[in-house]
Amino acid sequence: MKRKAPIFLSAILLITLVYLGGGVPGLGGPNVSSGFKTDAQTHAISGNRIVIQGHHMVFEGLECPDPQTEAGRDAKALMNTYLRTNIYCRMTSWDSAMWVGSCEANGKSVAAGMKQTGLCK
């Protein structure tokens, strides 16, 4: 028998976000801060863009090289290393096609850690 709890919980979360945010992403966008913890499907698209629980998010105030470059691939690999730990992300605004937000690992900013390496600014 298939487990239906994750789908059910995802549906409840989506309904709650739409209700609290006053809208559907892409249709004016929500106005809500949402928190998510990393899961097995969380991964980096680049050094400053991730997919967490199916939601695309860009880190606020973090610029990283294009992932097609060597430096960009290094930044993406480092972000994936962060994502293997238990991090908590807060999505604070909607920017056309994805969430904008920040994440913490052990109470410390992931963006600040990425900047400290010199790979991102």
Which one has a higher pLDDT value, 2 or 57?
57
* 111 touches 78 (CB < 8 A): no
Q: What is the reported pTM? A: 0.69
Structure confidence by residue, pLDDT tens digits, 10-38: 444 444 444 434 444 443 444 445 577 77
Domain 33-116 has CATH 2.40.50.90: yes
Give the pLDDT of residue 4.
46
* Angstrom distances, CA of residue 36 to CA of 64, 92, 120, 121: 22, 11, 23, 24
pLDDT at position 39, please? 78
Domain boundaries, given as residue ranges, for the chain: 33-116
